[in-house]
Amino acid sequence: MAEDSDLEKTEEPTPHKREKAKKDGQIVRSKELSSVLMILGGVSLLWMSGRFITRELYAMLTEGFTFNHHIIGNENLLIPRFASLMKQAVFALSPVFLGLVLVAIGGSAVLGGINFSSKSIKFDPKKWNPISGLKRIFSMNALAELFKAILKSLFVGLAATVFLWHNWNDILHLITLPPLSALANAMQLLIFAVYIAVFYAYPDGGIRYYFSNS
């Protein structure tokens, strides 16, 4: 009987169990994969809409830093002027914001698909049980996530330290460069961050997908 129970535990999940898990809102997710897709999407959106953003922000900053006696002398005009500048800033960054929303939705759907389950937001008194909460905190899954987070922090910290050590003078030199050259060098730093995220996120997403189907 013990052997039969062990075999049952190692069997692949049936379509019925997968469908039931999906209805319960239990689908595979990878925060790291979503993060790397957000970074890649943000870099791509900045690259494609860079001229538009630069033009609109330049106009906003030019208007904001223009000395105006009428506005400074009238307190009632300060808040409307500030609100107008914020609207210009939001409009300038709206392509990136909207694009990242779509990327976030698509990134969540890569592994487990898009799933809307009322059971996942349904009030469950068992979730308020402190004993069950402590069991989740000190479970093997929580310890594995903690260990993975520590390794990730060490990896990212070490990589960032090595990069800063070798490029510190170039970073300080950014303030002496023309705006376009400084922006190009800053993009290199951003691409380096993308490489770190890609290096970590894809294995994590693959591992989660593998275990979700086993």
Q: How confident is the model over 133-179, as pLDDT tens digits?
A: 666 666 777 777 778 778 777 777 777 787 778 778 877 877 787 76
Give a yes or no: residue 6 inside a domain: no
Sign of CA dihedral 98, 101, 107, 110: negative
From CA 210, how far away is CA 123, in angstroms rounded?
Answer: 30
| 25: pLDDT strictly greater than 60 | no
Give a yes or no: residue 120 inside a domain: no
User: Residue 185's domain spans which residues?
Assistant: 129-213
CA atoms within 13 A on the CB side of 79: 2
Q: What does the pLDDT read at residue 210?
A: 53
Same domain for 203 and 144:
yes
Same domain for 138 and 106:
no
From CA 19, how far away is CA 52, in angstroms rounded?
Answer: 45
Same domain for 144 and 200:
yes
Average pLDDT over residues 29-46: 74
Give a yes or no: residue 136 inside a domain: yes
Average pLDDT over residues 183-191: 68
- Return the exposure string of 53-66: e unless at least 16 CB atoms fall within 10 Å of the residue's CB, then b: beebeeebeeeeee
Same domain for 175 and 205:
yes
91, 114, 137: which is the final residue of a domain?
Answer: 114
Judge contact between 96 and 57, C-beta under 8 A: no
* Better pLDDT: 74 or 124: 74
Cβ burial, residue 37 (10 Å; 0-12/13-18/19+): buried
Number of domains in the chain: 2
From CA 195, how far away is CA 202, in angstroms rounded?
Answer: 11
Q: What does the pLDDT read at residue 78?
A: 80
How many helices and strands, by DSSP H and E, does the chain display? 9, 0
Cβ burial, residue 125 (10 Å; 0-12/13-18/19+): exposed
pLDDT, the chain, mean: 70
Same domain for 101 and 148:
no
Mark out the alpha helices in 27-122 (DSSP H runs). Answer: 31-48, 50-64, 69-72, 78-111
Residues 6+ apart with CB under 8 A from 163: 192
Give a yes or no: residue 45 inside a domain: yes
114, 139, 164: which is the final residue of a domain?
Answer: 114
| 8: pLDDT strictly greater than 50 | no
pTM of the model: 0.51
Q: What does the pLDDT read at residue 154?
A: 79
Q: What does the pLDDT read at residue 87?
A: 92
Mark out the alpha helices in 112-139 (DSSP H runs). Answer: 130-137
Same domain for 137 and 90:
no
From CA 122, how far away is CA 126, in angstroms rounded?
Answer: 11
